Amino acid sequence: MKFKYRHTRALVYILMFVVTTFLIFKMFPQRTHFDKKYEVGKPWHYELLTAPFDFPVYKTKIELSAERDSIKRFFVPYYIADLSKKKSALSALMADSLIDRETRYYLQKAIQNIYKKGVISQAEYDDFQKLQLKYINVSDSSNIWRKVEVKSLLTPSSAINYISSTYPISTSRLDSLNVSRLVGVSLNVDKNKSDMTLNELLKSIPLSSGMVQAGERIIDKGEIVKYEQGKILDSLAKEYSQNAPDKDNRLVSIADIFMIAALLSLFVVYVVLFRPEFIRLKNAAFIILMILIVIGAASLIMNYDPDMIDLVPFTLMAIIIRIFFDGRTALFVHNIVVLIVALFVPSPFIFIMLHIPAGMIAVSTLKQLTHRAQLVRSALSIFITYALIYSCCTIIDTGNFVFTWHPYLVFAINALLLLFAYILIYIFEKMFGYLSDVTLVELSNINNKLLMEFSAKAPGTFQHVIQVSTLVT
């Protein structure tokens, strides 16, 4: 019976280990082979990079947007000539008995020429002028398109001026005959044809501006990343993410799972060799929950913005484990979590250099938590550690130091989040039945309701307990 219990418990621990490994792996985004961090105008910090295969140099969003805007700006729209307008105008002219024969003759020629040129609305003509459009495509019922100069087009008002300036008919005479009724818009935009042609032109924009051949040199260590090199690096990263072979992806996934399992196994070995009394289901569940919470928070930040990963308070986990257990266990778990997350961050070296020393400071500066000031001092020490190490890493990478407030603001927020340790300690005490120094201090307060009741019912025993506790302290 005892053997069966041990066997079942071992299977439970193995299952917890496997599930934890799988959950950690699924939390993080799928990685590609190209995870180098770079910035245009800054030095390239890695070794010589050559093209591993042929790939196109993709245009940037700004370049594609500029090409689309250019096509839209110089696009020649399509208009259909309404031949019925000319027929209606000529019919109305011939039916008007108030117009004398000579005037009718000139007006007939004028109307034919006006509609031959084409009449558009004043609003459209103004838009053409703003866009500096020189031509439009015009077609009649024969569906044969021809280009017409915008400057040769007329509007209803300019058509009247055209008649008075071209033919021997005064403006007052035209007004008295109400000739404006004979002039109407004869060119109407063919929206379907225009939209279809414009969409075809937009779709025909090439997404790339060149090719990089396999083996071609891209950039070497120490070189400043220029704009064109940045485009090439962006294109290479895009090719890896879109077209990486499934086989390579599987190999990367297997390697990630192996590394996660190996790092978690180190903690198992540590517990078996140095903390066998720690092997309890409750303790295992607590540690796993802490690891998953911290790694889950890191995963959310990674999916949102990988550069904000330092916002995650990794040392909070070390502080809480230190309060409930001991500093060595807290530091061991903290370092394992940092190493696991380092597998997926853009700059693993800097990440490790930042967070492992911070974990050491967290464990060293908080031997016990009995006062709020202790947690504040620990948070301040951790912030100073982050700031100093980041500044030194920046100087080592760039050779100089230029202050930018953003990373230090992230470190400050990280330190402020550590103050939530009080709340989390209370929650974990209730969940797992642990007892922290904070709770012991609260219980030792003689104004505590339980102690006051104890003093009232058994004053002698109460005084004896107080004397013993005083001697112990």
137 φψ region: left (φ > 0), alpha (ψ -120 to 50), beta (else): beta
Q: What per-residue confidence (pLDDT) applies to 240?
A: 77
pLDDT of residue 449: 66
Please tell me the predicted confidence (pLDDT) of residue 359: 92
Q: Is 3 left (phi over 0), alpha (psi -120 to 50) or beta?
A: alpha
Hey, what are 71's tokens?
Answer: 């096509």
Q: Distance between CA atoms of 301 and 310, rounded to whole angstroms?
A: 9
Class of residue 29 by CB neighbours under 10 A (exposed 0-12, middle 13-18, buried 19+): exposed
| Residue 444 confidence (pLDDT) | 60
- How many angstroms separate the CA atoms of 27 and 300, rounded? 8
pLDDT of the chain along its 473 residues, tens only? 555 656 787 888 899 999 999 999 988 876 655 667 788 888 887 778 888 888 899 998 888 999 999 898 888 899 988 888 888 888 877 877 777 778 778 888 888 888 888 899 888 889 888 888 888 898 876 678 888 888 888 888 888 888 877 877 777 777 777 777 888 888 888 889 889 999 999 999 998 888 999 889 998 877 888 989 889 988 888 887 776 555 456 777 888 899 999 999 999 999 989 888 888 888 888 999 999 999 999 999 888 877 788 899 999 999 999 888 888 999 999 999 999 999 888 778 889 999 999 999 998 887 766 667 778 888 899 999 999 999 888 888 766 777 778 889 999 999 999 888 878 888 888 888 776 666 666 556 556 666 667 666 777 775 666 666 555 55
- CA–CA dist 186, 178 (Å, integer): 19
Place of tokens 């989040």: 417
